[in-house]
Structure 1
Amino acid sequence: MGVIWLLIVGAAAGFLATRIMDVKASVPATIAIGMGGALIGGMVLRMALAFMGMLGGLVGAVLGALLLIWLWQQYGPK
């Protein structure tokens, strides 16, 4: 169940992050961006926002995905 939940949250976070940052990405790339963002932002914000439960995890995942997209745009292949 944990892997399925990670895919669902990753897809949702990646979708939101790619729309906010106006990035065109395939479905697998969107899920990967969301999962990477979940790892980056989820770990940090889950501790800070522990009282918010699952919503804290989604917020952290979206923020982490936004950071990952920004880093990709700044330092990735041009």
Structure 2
Amino acid sequence: MQFLALVIIGAAAGFIATRLMRVEASLPVTLAIGILGALIGGFVLRALLALTGIAAGLVGAILGAMLLIWLYRSYLDRR
């Protein structure tokens, strides 16, 4: 159930993160960024902080998505 919550929160986080970092991406890419970022950020945030609840998951999801965007821009996006 917590995994499902991370996926749902991740979809919103992907949208927010792509807007914060001014990334033009299609809807599937935005959702994938958010979901992967939610998984990364959610697990890392739970391990590092003693915060609980949806607010911590959303913050972790946004940070994870932003990290994923940064990694993509730094290492994969060679236009």
TM-score range, shorter chain: 0.7 to 0.9
**What is the TM-score normalised by the length of structure 1?**
0.85
Contact 1:7 1:31 in 2 (8 A): no
Unmatched segments (≥5 aa) in structure 1: none
The range that moved more, 37-46 or 63-72, is: 37-46
CA–CA distance in 1 between the matches of 2:4 and 2:39? 15
* Percent identity for Structure 1 against Structure 2: 60
RMSD value, Cα:
1.8
Deviating runs (4+, > 4 A) in structure 1? Answer: 1-4
Q: Which amino acid aligns with 1:39?
A: L
Against the structure 1 CA distance between its residues 6 and 52, is the aligned structure 2 distance closer, same or farther, given a 3 Å change threshold?
closer
Unmatched segments (≥5 aa) in structure 2: none
1:11-67 per-residue CA deviation (whole Å, 9 max, x = no partner) reads 210001000110001111001000110111110112344433111011000000000
Contact 2:7 2:38 in 1 (8 A): no
Q: What count of residue pairs does the alignment treat as equivalent?
A: 78
CA–CA distance in 1 between the matches of 2:38 and 2:6? 8
Q: Does residue 42 of structure 1 match 2:42?
A: yes
